[in-house]
Amino acid sequence: MRPIGEFTGANISLLDFKKNIIFISLILLLSGACSHAGTDKNGISQFSDNTDDYKGVSLFSFLNPYPVVKSFFTNMDPVGFNEALGDALSQAPRTDNLGTIRALESAMLQSRTAVQTLSLGLADMIEKMQTSNPAAYSSIQPVFEKIRHYKKPVVRNLMPLGANQLLIEYNTKTANQVATSIHDTADLLVDPDTVDTLHDIEDFLYKGLRKNTTFRTGVESLLGGFFAPSLLTDRTLKEGFISLIYDFGEMMYKAAGFEDQMTPQTSFKNFIINSENFFTANTTSPVELSANEYSTNAAYNSPGGILKPAELRTMLRDLFVTIKGLIFAQGDVTVNVLKETAKNAYLLDFMRNSSGSSQTFKDLLQLDGDGRNRQTDVESRPLSSLETLFIVLTLADNYGYRWNPAQTTHNALTDAAPFTTGGELTLGDAMFSMGSVIGSGDSFNFKNITELSRTSSKVFRDGSVYKIGFNTRVLSILEAVSRGETQQITDPAAEATFDKLYNKTVPWMLDWIVKVTLEGYGPYYSQTDSGGQPIAPNGDPLQYQPSWNTSKYYVQIDPGTGGERRIYLGGVDQTAASAVLTNKGFYSITETAPAPIPVASAEEAFYKNLQWLLYEKRFVAVLPVRAKLAATVTYQEALFITAIGNGIMGMMNLSPNCGPLKDDCTNFNGFWQKKGTPIKSFDSGTQAGPWVVQDTNFQDLSNEPGDSVFLVEGWGYGLAGNEGFQVTAVYSALFPLLIPDPTTVYGMIPPVVSQNAGVIKQLGFLGTTDTPASQVNTNWNKRNRLTPFIVALAKALGDDAKSDANPLHPRNPYKLFTGLAEIFSRPYVYYGPDQTYGPNGVYDSNVSPIQGTGISSPGPSFIQIRTVGIASGLRNPKATPVEYKASKNYRTLLSVLIEGTSTPTSTDRNRMTDGPLDLLSKTDILSGLIKFTTNLGDPAKSDARDKVMDGLSGILNQTKLWSDCGGEANFQTNCPNQFAIDEGIDWLVFRIADKYDDRPRNDLYDPAWVKIDDLVRRIRDYVSRSSGWSLVKSLDFLLDLLLDIQLTAGEISNTLDLISSLFYVGDDIDPNNTALDTRTYTLSDILTTSLPPVLDSMAPYGRNLYATGYQLGKPGSFFSFLEKNASMSSTYSVEELFENTKVLLRSDMIQTSLMDNRAFLYSAGTLIGLFGDIYERGRRFSGADAFFYDNWNDGQPTSTYWDDLNAIFSLR
């Protein structure tokens, strides 16, 4: 059969067809529901003309008792109606018009009982709206009237199915395919899972809109935000919301994998298989012959300590808590983080029309932690950059250890809990990372040196006693302008005075990123105030300091003669009896940018400041010590260690320069690692190096990106200790103490952190290339477009932390961030003994970098990461670079969302990026989310933002875990009207862990997987922008309609009351008492009981319905005629229409079980069947099945169908 889009005629002439079109008119108007008065097919009694005492259904009067419904038809022009209908149907193939007639006949006769039940259900729903809350029903009538008079066609635009899609379906599918799809839909509706799901939805709506007033208030606030005054004219937020939903559907059209080699269906099936294997427990059975990876591998099921397992239910619950924390203030968070993030993001104008975030996300899936392409680079690591980022964040959030300063015989950690600092690097960690002599058999070791110095009270910083020990937090000793938010401390023995938050590595780094990108601490800017002064994106004046001084340091020494003397940083001494010198003891620091630099855009300023922080910002630390600088001396000297790193990446490489062969630390002391020049100028003819130059400032501050320098100064009074002021005479002993084995040292930053720092670079620009600020424009297309939003989030967390009046920052809102990282790091994160001591933490001097005497064994246990070289310890300072990388032999939840396994039994990745997250990366969902959230931060939309966020907060406040209410058994008792997210999680996990246990893993096309195929197809069909079946376009129109009619808060409340009334029957005496409600499932019953038989009965004619429906529904055709002309009389109200329709649906003529002329459905179906016979067989004048014989021939009845119709349409 030719496609109907090409149809130009029929088997009969157009004129003949139009002569018969009156039959079709009767059918589609249902005025064809006239019934026969008897069973004789040969007489005029077949049709009644009301000339006798007729008791059945009458053709022209059956709607008389329902004047409101009838008014839709009484004002129409019959000629115009017939012409519009005839013109439409004449374009459809004859067989399809006939099929449409048969479909209507079948619906009215074959599924008559179901149609009656459906009618009763609809009537019940109307009555519930009328009676459950009469006040709300009455108050909502003005809204209905606004909709009735809306400027655009409402019914057509709310219909999810358009005429063009009918044409596509007709032209691309056979009759059997269409029939099967309709039968499948009917089967889906009667499926017990569907019934349960619809009941759950109704229970949720009833509880949320009727029982739980807090949740209900949240919904009202949320809807009030969507219809806030600021959104009535500016629809960008609405359009963004709709685009997000559309893109979710479009995701199902994408192909997964870096070569687009996998269908979405297969991608999701692989995810289910891997999730079941790695994240759910199983037992052996005839179906599951062996236990899975989760059940047999302790890394997944028993991480140790208080850590949670990598079990799917547990991870999803923890994810819910994290997501809830973004919106609902709880624990360490006191603000709506998402709300504040939106406001922060809006400060960056380029985020208001954000794009490219999805491409960045895709790149993070394809690249490894060092920016190498995992598919093409043989040097790349198996783990993606995204996975690595979360693992490194978890590592940094836990790395930091305590030391016993009194134990000086070995380099082991303290032997008394607590062993860790909770993510705060200590000076002891830095010394251990460089392999320094921490403890020894004699007194010449760094622990003894620093402890004696600390207790001497002879070391001063800015005039105050300055105490440094092995438990001093590294970030607290940074110089003020590079220290950031961290509070400095003066005594490591007084931990109660420590900064509780910004001594932690992750909060400190995130805060610095915020400072330089949003708060003006970087040199680049694009805005000025009214006076022409540079300002930061947050509106504050630029805070950038191009030059600054370190604190002032000096050490007091007693040479034995003349009293104590002060030795200043830089090589100056004076008697302690004199006033402190105001211009000595510090170094001047100039940043790489000598002055603020204007740039063309806020986006350029953002990325240049970020890269400046990573590669150029001067991070400076000065470590002053009063000590004996050799084992053979008896006197004290002054030791100053000054370390400078250009940017965060420079800090990662911070270590003494020991020359190109790493064997001459003394002579390269004070030389820049990259530039290779000394930080102080010296006379090579008379001076050994920059460390001997007295009383001078720095002359050469390298501007090389990522460069670093380590300057060790020792000052004293000669070999006897009482001579003239000079460089220490025992210089040669210092470096063997500080860095005994230069060939194996990575630097002061623990190598497990520094050797994974490549992933930090990916926050700025993707790939392996270093991108300092000067190269930003060159590498512009490689910028990480997700970072600005992450920074906006980090600022929200930081602002919340700083809002506390306590300067020590006792709350840690960043737990939201690090908690998310920990979830996505399972099963890499575990609790176990420190392998640095030896196998299983048992000390063995032959294999362990732990050295000395009196070492406790086994070593302490703490949280660690499963690296390649974990067997030799996470803290091992001498492993190979690859040993600090995360092992490939474990799978995180992110990893199975990114890709499948290399083989069906492997624990390694296939590197194909063929998982659901790759599908996500090929849409604009992420970009859309960021754009939507950013624009919600617009101050002009504060009314919408506040209501939306308050609404979400209220809703999430009422959504809890079982554990929040005493466990699953007690939830309904303790929290009867709240919602348990566990139920939804269990529903999902059941379908992954249990329901698919019997699905074949090696045949993903097996019919057992059909529900996954159907799910993907339905999401694609009903949600995507390109699908003609999309429900989203109806939602889009509905939102526009509601914005246009401008719902008030009262109307929103009444609408919700009306919706909730569909799910219960209230008590007659006390309708407001929810305890007396009777729950009903009318809507579920309609969809799962009444509708499926109707669909099944019409399914064989589905393709015919598509053809006729297309011709009727295309623009300008019959339905357009109805839209213009079929209007309810202005004398009636919508309220009267509901009442009239309810009475009609319950009327005896529809609900009767009789099969005679009193039954509307039976009569209409029978007559439509007869019309079908007439249409099918034509106007033949002879033959047993001929209808239109002319009764003039001998032996034929005197009354024919022709006479009957003539009597009705002409004589009457």
Residue range 1157-1178, pLDDT digits in tens:
889 999 889 888 888 888 887 6
Mean per-residue pLDDT of the chain: 90
* pLDDT for residue 1186: 59
The tokens 């759910």 sit on which residue?
A: 280
d(CA 606, CA 764): 10
DSSP collapsed to 3 states, 277-299: HHHCCCCCCCCCCCCCHHHHCHH
* pLDDT for residue 1156: 83
Q: Average pLDDT for residues 134-146, to the nearest whole number? A: 93
Nearest partner of 551 among 495, 613, 500, 624, judged by Cα: 624
Q: Do 945 and 235 contact (CB within 8 A), yes or no?
A: no
Residue 498 has pLDDT above 70, yes or no: yes
Q: Average pLDDT for residues 638-648, to the nearest whole number? A: 97
What is the percent of the chain with per-residue pLDDT over 70, rounded to a whole number? Answer: 92
Q: Range with the lowest mean pLDDT among 516-520, 610-614, 1126-1130?
A: 1126-1130
Nearest partner of 638 among 691, 697, 690, 703, judged by Cα: 691
Q: Which pLDDT band, with edges at 50, 70 and 90, does 62 fall under?
A: confident
Alpha helices in 937-1000 (DSSP H): 942-957, 968-974, 981-989
Question: What is the CB-side half-sphere exposure of residue 269 using CA atoms within 13 A?
Answer: 24
What's the Cα-to-Cα distance from 861 to each of 309, 403, 414, 418, rounded to whole Å? Answer: 17, 14, 12, 10
Which is it for strands 979-980 and 534-535: parallel, antiparallel or unpaired? unpaired
Q: Which pLDDT band, with edges at 50, 70 and 90, does 1069 fall under?
A: confident
Q: Do 650 and 619 contact (CB within 8 A), yes or no?
A: yes
The per-residue b/e assignment along 630-667, b for 16 or more CB within 10 angstroms, e otherwise, is: beebebbbbbbbbbbbbbbbbbbbbbbbbeeebeebbe
d(CA 330, CA 813): 10
What's the Cα-to-Cα distance from 100 to each of 27, 104, 288, 450, rounded to whole Å? Answer: 10, 6, 50, 94
Q: Do 782 and 766 contact (CB within 8 A), yes or no?
A: yes
Q: What count of other Cβ atoms lies within 10 Å of the Cβ of residue 861?
A: 17
Q: Do 105 and 1165 contact (CB within 8 A), yes or no?
A: yes
Instruction: Give SS3 for 901.
Output: strand
What's the Cα-to-Cα distance from 460 to each of 454, 463, 497, 580, 638, rounded to whole Å? Answer: 10, 6, 18, 11, 11
Q: Which residues contact 821 (CB under 8 A, 6 or more apart)?
A: 389, 390, 391, 393, 394, 397
Q: Which pLDDT band, with edges at 50, 70 and 90, does 1001 fall under?
A: confident
The tokens 């370390």 sit on which residue?
A: 643
Nearest partner of 742 among 710, 765, 774, judged by Cα: 710
Give the domain ranges of the chain. Answer: 4-180+1099-1177, 248-399+791-829+874-1007, 427-749
Residue 687 has pLDDT above 60, yes or no: yes
* pLDDT for residue 995: 74
The tokens 């099969």 sit on which residue?
A: 1155
DSSP 130-197: HHSSHHHHHHTHHHHHHHHT-SS-HHHHH-S--HHHHHHHHHHS-HHHHHHHHHHHHHHHHSHHHHHH
Tens digit of each residue's pLDDT (9 = 90 or more) over 579-621: 999 999 999 999 999 999 999 999 999 999 999 999 999 999 9
Q: What count of other Cβ atoms lies within 10 Å of the Cβ of residue 818?
A: 23
Q: Which pLDDT band, with edges at 50, 70 and 90, does 901 fall under?
A: confident
* pLDDT for residue 78: 84
Residue 278 has pLDDT above 70, yes or no: yes
Give helix 942-957 / helix 337-346 axis angle, nearest 10°. 160
The alpha carbon torsion through 883, 886, 888, 889 (nearest 10 deg) reads: 100
Nearest partner of 859 among 830, 832, 876, 834, judged by Cα: 834
* pLDDT for residue 220: 96
d(CA 387, CA 365): 8
Q: Average pLDDT for residues 1191-1200, to the nearest whole number? A: 55
Q: Average pLDDT for residues 855-867, to the nearest whole number? A: 95
Q: Range with the lowest mean pLDDT among 170-184, 264-278, 1016-1030?
A: 1016-1030
Residues shown for the chain: 1212
Q: Which residues contact 115 (CB under 8 A, 6 or more apart)?
A: 107, 108, 1090, 1094, 1161
Between 439 and 233, the higher pLDDT residue: 439
Helix (H) or strand (E) segment spanning residue 727? strand 726-727
Angle at 1033 between CA 1030 and CA 1039, to 5 degrees: 140
Question: What is the CB-side half-sphere exposure of residue 752 using CA atoms within 13 A?
Answer: 30
Structure tokens at 476: 């607290």
* pLDDT for residue 63: 87
Q: Average pLDDT for residues 288-296, to the nearest whole number? A: 87
d(CA 395, CA 389): 10
Q: What count of other Cβ atoms lies within 10 Å of the Cβ of residue 194?
A: 15
Residue 518 has pLDDT above 60, yes or no: yes
Q: Which pLDDT band, with edges at 50, 70 and 90, does 262 fall under?
A: very high
The tokens 């069906």 sit on which residue?
A: 904
Between 740 and 288, the higher pLDDT residue: 740
d(CA 46, CA 58): 12
Q: Which pLDDT band, with edges at 50, 70 and 90, does 276 fall under?
A: very high
One-letter amino acid of 116: Q
Q: Average pLDDT for residues 336-342, to the nearest whole number? A: 98
* pLDDT for residue 58: 61
Rounded to 5 degrees, φ, ψ at 371 are 85, 10
Tell me which range, 743-747, 824-828, 1120-1124, is most confidently predicted by mean pLDDT: 824-828
Q: Do 177 and 943 contact (CB within 8 A), yes or no?
A: no
Q: Do 691 and 569 contact (CB within 8 A), yes or no?
A: no
The alpha carbon torsion through 306, 309, 315, 319 (nearest 10 deg) reads: 20
* pLDDT for residue 15: 39
Which is it for strands 547-549 and 1064-1065: parallel, antiparallel or unpaired? unpaired
Structure tokens at 926: 């992420």
The tokens 């820049």 sit on which residue?
A: 672
Could you tell me which residues are beta bridge partners of residue 566? Answer: 556, 574
* pLDDT for residue 170: 95
Its pTM stands at 0.91
